[in-house]
Amino acid sequence: MKQDASRNAAYTVDCEDYVHVVEFNPFENGDSGNLIAYGGNNYVVIGTCTFQEEEADVEGIQYKTLRTFHHGVRVDGIAWSPETRLDSLPPVIKFCTSAADMKIRLFTSDLQDKNEYKVLEGHTDFINGLVFDPKEGQEIASVSDDHSCRIWNLEGVQTAHFVLHSPGMSVCWHPEETFKLMVAEKNGTIRFYDLLAQQAILSLESEQVPLMSAHWCLKNTFKVGAVAGNDWLIWDITRSSYPQNKRPVHMDRACLFRWSTISENLFATTGYPGKMASQFQIHHLGHPQPILMGSVAVGSGLSWHRTLPLCVVGGDHKLLFWVTEV
């Protein structure tokens, strides 16, 4: 590992607009390319990218836009459906967005003539997180500043509604046991809900606020990570409801936390734009300092590649990609 961890992005892709959010497809999509979605002020772009780390005949990054969807309002969040397939005939692209108008839009496309979307209405304030159920893709969970977590079916009907004690910041579905949902609140409480009983079964406390982002580690579901105040925090839910590990990382308040999809010791955080240029960091639990720091003039969004130790952050008219070692 390099001692001087600060470096520029390994790859960049130019975009036509400021990027507010970016998400790699976390599900296997039946094609060698990796689907990526990003949202700007009034549209969503779906593309594929292949990296030299996975294909010997690719130099750097190979990026191709598959389709641009007019959105009409700023895109705040994107979630991929596990029903997305590039190897079916016709292909299926399915994802949902949260937007500045407090609505969720569910998009379905065959990348040809069929391009539909359905609006899911009910939240009364900004939506901070949304996710598809990872097994069947038949339900969507969302959390909002309106102090609620809502579960929707694909017809747009609410099938469950949990009242929170503060704004809901993040929501994650258990990768195997799809009746378990994790909801993180701004007041520092993270609760796990049993969707069959429709009640909370466990809670964690960050002991510091504001909690801005939390993520369930898919490689080890006993681990939960979050950022609150200037720190990252990590829990082992079998041991304690209080963080087992924490460290200050961002001078100007931390913004997002995301576990790597390939290692339970690797995670990334971002900070709010402020006095410090370095707002993107990759951390390894075996190292006291961040193993990589990247500076983004105005960064937003954070997502890990499904099979590589590679992160993407949105920026001003570009996507920025960083690669690290596991």
Neighbours of 249 (CB within 10 A): 20
pLDDT digits (tens, 9 = 90+) for 153-199: 999 999 999 999 999 999 999 999 999 999 999 999 999 999 999 99
185, part of any domain: yes
Going by pLDDT thresholds of 50, 70 and 90, the confidence category of residue 1 is very low
81, part of any domain: yes
Whole-model pTM?
0.96
Q: What is the mean pLDDT of the chain?
A: 93
- Which residues fall within 8 angstroms of residue 163, CB to CB, at 6 or more apart? 147, 148
The pLDDT value given to residue 81: 98
Q: Are residues 77 and 136 in the same domain?
A: no
pLDDT digits (tens, 9 = 90+) for 186-195: 999 999 999 9
- The Cα 104–Cα 241 span in angstroms is 32
- The Cα 106–Cα 104 span in angstroms is 7
CATH number at residue 225: 2.130.10.10
Q: Are residues 95 and 49 in the same domain?
A: yes
- Which residues fall within 8 angstroms of residue 196, CB to CB, at 6 or more apart? 179
Which helix H or strand E contains 300, and what residues bound it? strand 300-304
The residue range of the domain holding 301 is 1-121+297-325
Q: Are residues 111 and 12 in the same domain?
A: yes
Residue 290 has pLDDT above 80, yes or no: yes
